Amino acid sequence: MITDGLNSGSKPPIPLWMLAELTYKCPLQCPYCSNPLAIAQSRGELSVDEWCDTLSQARALGAVQLGLSGGEPLLKGGVSQIIKHATDLGFYTNLITSGVGLTEKSIVALKSAGLEHIQLSVQAPEEVLNDQIAGRKCFREKLEAAALIKKHGFAMVMNVVLHRHNIGRLGELIELAVHLKADYLELANVQFDGWAYLNRKSLLPTRDQIDQALATTREYEKRMQGRLKIFYVLPDYYSDRPKACCNGWGSLSLVVSPSGFVMPCLGAHKLPIDDRPNIRDQSLGTIWRDSKLFNSFRGYDWMQEPCRSCPEKTKDFGGCRCQAFLLTGDASQTDPVCALSPKRSLVDTMLMEHEDVAVNQMVYRSLAESVRQCDR
């Protein structure tokens, strides 16, 4: 039963934010990719028509923000057709791209399809490190993509996933965002799940790096006086309270995978819930309202102590279900990042385990590596 949700009150929640993962194909191999480790097992991508129908259903439920991601969404044939349909439905559309493969011709097609804004990923402020992290040469293509994005009048968000190998370059990253004329800069500390969890010993920043990064960000924010808006996503491992993951499970957002699996969040693939609702089998409304997966952690009734009686549960909803499962083996436990969790020591132990591993020694995201991980 739905007891509450961010935008619900006594009314049922509305999935305001939809993320469409159009394909797992990607030219990059970032070792912290948010796609599942099991990308090699994904079969049967939704067709353009199936995506358009899914978007129509989402819009009817009240979805209004649409993120188009992947993999690399530009590798999905018919992406402009999907965006055109989303625009006609009244979605506000955001293309989340590596910039690789973006050409004058394709950006003109995206513009005429009604695309509103583009989120461009950058791995580092200079070519060598950027290309090492991305696992291929792409820095120059990204700079060219940024120029095209601005030339064609899109709002641009530059997104950087922060970790030990680039967080010390934060000042340069902010300077790059200014140079590229980004409207927003999103600095997201890496979330340790999936590929990033595999590489956590190498990716985990030190406490000093985190403190320095926050100070640098604040200093630049003052200096910019609002000309560049900076969103800084804090690293939860170094916090004593968990993130309000998804603003509450099944309360605000939904994700559709390339093969039509519908989830409350990106990481829900691996949770041990025997329900994998697919848009090919059920309507989106049925999945959103009635599926076991979406109702598993809605509201507060599922919570264990210390969350159940905690006054902060309405702020953080007990944190991240995927992280709770990953670290404790039980998805209904308090996110162990929380200092009130009896399992916080699991996180503290990990904070002491980081190793100096070279960038190119990390496990890179690829189909071949996915096959190896699935065989384990």
- Chain positions contacting another protein, by CB under 8 A: 14, 16-17, 61-62, 64-65, 90, 92, 94, 116-117, 119, 153-155, 157, 183-184
Q: How far is the CB of 7 from another protein (least distance, A)?
A: 9
Q: How far is the CB of 83 from another protein (least distance, A)?
A: 15
In the bound state with another protein, the residue whose beta carbon lies nearer, of 116 and 126, is: 116
In the bound state with another protein, the residue whose beta carbon lies nearer, of 90 and 311, is: 90
Length of the chain: 376
In the bound state with another protein, the residue whose beta carbon lies nearer, of 92 and 300, is: 92
Which is nearest to 182 in space by CA: 120, 98, 108? 120
In the bound state with another protein, the residue whose beta carbon lies nearer, of 183 and 312, is: 183
Q: How far is the CB of 6 from another protein (least distance, A)?
A: 12
**260: how many CB neighbours lie within 10 A of its CB?**
18
In the bound state with another protein, the residue whose beta carbon lies nearer, of 197 and 294, is: 294
**119: how many CB neighbours lie within 10 A of its CB?**
21
Dihedral of CA 330/232/189/250: which sign? positive
Task: List Cα–Cα distances, 149 to 23, 44, 161, 187, 208, in angstroms.
Answer: 22, 31, 20, 19, 35
What is the C-alpha to C-alpha distance for residues 291 and 33, in angstroms, rounded to an integer? 27
Q: How far is the CB of 157 from another protein (least distance, A)?
A: 6
In the bound state with another protein, the residue whose beta carbon lies nearer, of 40 and 182, is: 182
Which residues on adjacent β-strands are paired with residue 67?
A: 19, 94
Q: How far is the CB of 92 from another protein (least distance, A)?
A: 4
Q: How far is the CB of 69 from another protein (least distance, A)?
A: 13
In the bound state with another protein, the residue whose beta carbon lies nearer, of 43 and 227, is: 227
Tokens of 163: 């970790």
DSSP string, 300-358: STTPPTTTTT-TTHHHHTTS-HHHHHHHHS-TTSPPTTSTTSTTHHHHHHHHT------
Q: How far is the CB of 116 from another protein (least distance, A)?
A: 6
Dihedral of CA 133/136/140/144: which sign? negative
